[in-house]
Amino acid sequence: MSVLLKLLNGYLLQNIKQPMLDKQYMKKLHTSFHAYASVRRDVIKVAGDALHHAKRAIFDMHRDDMKAAAAKLKQSEGLLKALQKKHKNHPAMKSEGAYRAAVEEYVEASLFHQFVTRGSIGKVAAFSVEEEVFLAGMCDVPGELYRYAIRAASRGNKKTVEDCEKMSSEIIGSLIEFDLTKYLRTKFDQAKQAHQKLEIVIYELSMRA
């Protein structure tokens, strides 16, 4: 009888269904997912504010209010730096659309500010910027140069228009060396269109001379 019981117990142990899903792993995944959801909400909120300040900085630059522009750039920079520090353990943050859009706008505003204040542009050193995001922001600068040149032309400031066209030309000449695809290719095409408009402004000014 004891032999039969042992055989039965052995059979039952072998045939009891084990869970097909690793519930411990799923629990860990659930915790991680909801923790990042909280991070994502914070990133969207703060990045939105940073983007707004960068846009306002560009607006101020077109009004020649460099003091206000610098202050708003500093606000945008501070928010983005704080995000990087706060969520340094969540590298996925840098892939969030809201964050990338804010950094791209900041790069555009920062480079444009460099041009209008010192006549040249270079790297953005305030915090870490992904190469693709930097290039996207740079692609937007010729559009701002075109707008700035139009205002200068209306005031008869030919030198500023020429400086804008020269800067735009250098940006296009630099970007053309990159093998840009997808989103960056679209941005580059927009940059070229803005540059072509600048060339027309230069031509029209030369016809008036």
For residue range 38-75, what is the model confidence (pLDDT) as tens digits? 888 999 999 999 999 999 999 999 999 999 999 999 99
**Which residue, among 76, 79, 147, 137, has the nearest Cα to 116 in the 3D structure?**
147
Q: Looking at residues 132-154, what average pLDDT do you find?
A: 97
Fold of 24-208: Methane Monooxygenase Hydroxylase; Chain G, domain 1 (1.20.58)
60, 93, 127, 179, 182 from 121: Cα distances, Å: 18, 28, 16, 22, 25
Q: Using CA atoms, how far apart are residues 157 and 141, in angstroms rounded to an integer?
A: 20
For residue range 10-37, what is the model confidence (pLDDT) as tens digits? 555 555 556 677 777 777 766 666 667 8
Question: Residues 6 or more apart from 73 whose CB is under 8 A from it?
Answer: 53, 54, 57, 106, 109, 110, 113
